[in-house]
Amino acid sequence: MAIVQSAWGALKKQAPVSCEAGTVKAERYTYTVAAGLTLAAGDIIELAILPTFHTVVDATLIIDEAGTATYDVGLMSSIPGDTDQARTCGAQFFSGAADASTTRMSLAGGFRVAASTSNDRSIGVKVVGASVVGAGQVIDLILYTKQ
């Protein structure tokens, strides 16, 4: 299993935060599989950041055609930017999302993720199934959050 990081996961870009309670913020988190890299079942992309004091209002997952892989999207263990390859990824927001699809969040657990009062949290995309994800494939997560 490998963990790769988007610009947000590597802490090179900052997630938007709401400056006023109840105001919804949207961010499009994007990861393009680099040339020479293939992702296999069990690999995780640290894609997005859920800021402290924020909850998820809605999410849309957009995945290019790459084969027959499916994807789980959820909260990751540890702190954002941690390079420990033993980190895990849940499936609170999407479970078994299909390749070559656009899917809106429908899992109740995603709408019920409580806000953290102590730290930002990473949102990961885990490759499940038998297929590999090849170079050039784009995975987008449009995340709507509020304080």
- Tell me, what CATH number does 60's domain have? 2.60.120
Calpha distance 129→115 (Å, rounded): 31
The confidence score (pLDDT) of residue 63 equals 92
Lowest mean pLDDT among 21-25, 50-54, 128-132: 128-132
- Could you give the CA distance from residue 35 to residue 56 in angstroms, rounded to a whole number? 32
Per-residue pLDDT, 124: 98
Range of the domain at 16: 3-146
- For 58-92, the pLDDT digits (tens) are 999 999 876 678 999 999 999 999 999 999 999 99
Place of tokens 């263990």: 77
pLDDT digits (tens, 9 = 90+) for 30-55: 999 888 888 888 999 999 999 999 99
What is the structure's pLDDT at 130? 64
| Of the candidates 63, 29, 64, the residue with the CA atom closest to the CA atom of residue 49 | 29
Angle at 77 between CA 83 and CA 85, to 5 degrees: 30
Vertex 100: Cα angle to 63 and 26 (nearest 5): 30
Total tally of structural domains belonging to the chain: 1
Query: Which residues lie across from 98 on neighbouring strands?
Result: 70
